[in-house]
Amino acid sequence: MSLFVIADTHLSLSTGKNMNVFPGWDDYESRLEKNWRSLVKPEDTVIIPGDVSWCMTMEEGLEDFRFLDSLPGRKLLMKGNHDYWWSTKKKADGFFERHSLNSLNILHNNAYACGGIAACGTRGWFFDAEKDEDKKIILREAGRLRASIAAAKQTGLEPVVFLHYPPLTKERRCDEIYAVLVEEGIRRCYYGHLHSYSHLTAVNGVNEDGIDFRLISGDYLGFCPAFVPETGKQPSL
């Protein structure tokens, strides 16, 4: 049983929103399917840390969710800044059950055992949170991250964090989220959200606090899910 991750799939089978207009996104859904099927086995798990689909509601996104369900493996879906369909885990679970989407699960304020690690995480938020409303969101996201890490630690496995927003780049750092990673002793963190020229700002590798950061947005990975090893030894991306 192996674990893979890829963020920012931006599926648009339901909405017809065309991502092909962006550099590197040509025929991305077909490329994703081909790469996924070549790597992932039915017993494996794939985490999608946000920006799963462009749909506005789960009902509108049914074809996107059916597409994911048709692919091999268990899928753990997380919230991103474009997941307008997102409501609550209970509602999502009910929707998946009604439509027999049995391989789809929600990662939110919880954790999942995946082989030798425990997958945990949250959406995160922007670096420049100056408005009171944004500051409240960051504190809420930091709290959700702590809750998810706590659930992961209860499994007795290594907690590995998955975020949508990067907790840091070469230029900026989200102090509230980053502090949780350090205080909780996290050693591996995967994140998405960065596209195109923003890839150049990404932090990949172990930093001064001993945390191994990895960018796993779909276009950065060439729409090929990245393998997450059970040990801290990472393959190059």
- Over residues 180-206, the mean pLDDT reads 96
Alpha carbon 187 to its chain's center: 17
**Domain definitions of the chain by residue range:** 3-228
Centre a 10 Å sphere on the Cβ of residue 44 and count the other Cβ atoms it contains. Answer: 19
What does CATH list as the number for 3-228? Answer: 3.60.21.10
- Does the reported pTM lie above 0.85? yes
pLDDT of residue 14: 78
Closest CA to 96 of 51, 63, 65: 65
- Nearby residues of 108 by Cβ (< 8 Å), 6 or more positions away: 78, 79, 89, 122, 144, 148
Encode pLDDT of 110-169 as tens digits. Answer: 999 999 999 999 999 887 666 777 788 999 999 999 999 999 999 999 999 999 999 999
- Nearby residues of 139 by Cβ (< 8 Å), 6 or more positions away: 176
> What average pLDDT does the structure give for the chain?
93
Better-predicted residue by pLDDT, 105 or 171: 105
Encode pLDDT of 130-144 as tens digits. Answer: 677 778 899 999 999
